[in-house]
């Protein structure tokens, strides 16, 4: 696999995960709590899996060791960034939810 192609797919995916988690934490804190619980349990497992497959691939195949290391490094960095951002998402979920006015209330305040 071309590592540049992989990098081009991974970086936007990590960014999209951050945006989506921020939106969910802000709009639906109970759903975010469920997602947080699942991701908190699975990210260490995913990190172990990435490291294991990276080492296995480097030992098994001589060609492309640099590419495997680079791709594995990108995955590890993305997972660590996501895990380190959980306190931020928890604070966003704890913020008071904004009150949205209905169209009738908006018309009353503009008159």
Q: For the segment 25-50, what is each residue's pLDDT rounded down to a tens digit?
A: 999 999 999 999 999 999 999 899 88
Phi and psi dihedrals of 28, rounded to 5?
-145, 75
Tell whether 38 is covered by a domain. yes
Q: Which residue has the higher pLDDT, 21 or 13?
A: 21
Q: Which residue has the higher pLDDT, 104 or 95?
A: 95
- Give the whole-angstrom CA distance, residue 11 versus residue 57: 22
Q: What is the dihedral of CA 49, 58, 13, 42, to 10 degrees?
A: 10
Tell whether 72 is covered by a domain. yes
**pLDDT at residue 100 above 70?**
no
Angle subtended at Cα 86 by Cα 49 and Cα 21, rounded to the nearest 5 degrees:
90
Tell whether 86 is covered by a domain. yes
Place of tokens 């305040």: 109
Q: What is the mean pLDDT of the chain?
A: 83
Tell whether 15 is covered by a domain. no
Q: What is the pLDDT of residue 7?
A: 66
Structural domain for 69, as ranges: 1-6+28-94
- Give the whole-angstrom CA distance, residue 102 versus residue 77: 43
- Give the whole-angstrom CA distance, residue 57 versus residue 1: 13
Mean pLDDT of the 80-92 span: 91
Q: What is the pLDDT of residue 102?
A: 63
């Amino acid at each position: 696999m071309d590592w540049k192609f992989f990098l081009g797919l991974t970086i936007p995916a990590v960014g999209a995960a951050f945006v989506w988690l921020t939106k969910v934490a802000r709009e639906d804190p109970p759903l975010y709590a469920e997602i947080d619980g699942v991701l908190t349990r699975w990210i260490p497992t995913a990190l172990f899996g990435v490291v294991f497959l990276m080492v296995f691939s480097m030992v098994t195949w001589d060609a492309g060791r640099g590419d495997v290391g680079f791709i594995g490094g990108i995955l590890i960095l993305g997972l660590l960034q996501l895990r380190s951002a959980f306190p931020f998402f928890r604070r966003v979920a704890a913020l008071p939810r904004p009150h949205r006015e209905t169209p009738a209330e908006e018309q009353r305040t503009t008159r």
